[in-house]
Amino acid sequence: MSQNLIMIDHAIKDSRSISAMLNSTDDGRALAWQSFEEKHPNLSQEELMKKFRMEARYGRIHMKNQNSVFSNKKYIAALIAFLIIVA
């Protein structure tokens, strides 16, 4: 039984995958962890993971979407450029 199988990487399309994170198409889970980690520098890694899990379970962790952050900066830059041109 000889079939020519072609490997296709579907992980890049999954916004939760490492492949998507490396290609900047992720959903911001890593940013949520990093910001949480920076807020609690005194905790050990084990305590930090436990606290993050509990905060996420009760909906107190909000994922930041990279695209929304960059789009907000674009709008601000466009507004500043418009104000400079008008003034």
Q: Which structural domain range is residue 67 located in?
A: 11-86
Instruction: Tell me if 6 is assigned to some domain.
Output: no
**Chain center to CA of 29:** 5
- Is the backbone of residue 28 left (phi > 0), alpha (psi -120 to 50) or beta? left
pLDDT at 25 over 60: yes
Burial class of residue 2 in the structure, from the number of CB atoms within 10 Å of its CB (0-12 exposed, 13-18 middle, 19+ buried): exposed
C-alpha neighbours within 13 Å on the C-beta side of residue 71: 5
Question: For the chain, what is the mean pLDDT?
Answer: 80
- Domain contains 64: yes
pLDDT tens digits, residue range 51-80? 999 998 888 887 665 555 556 778 888 889
Reduced to 3 states (helix: H, G, I; strand: E, B; else coil), residue 64 is coil
The per-residue pLDDT for 60 is 86
Q: Has this prediction a pTM greater than 0.75?
A: no
- Domain for residue 20, yes or no? yes
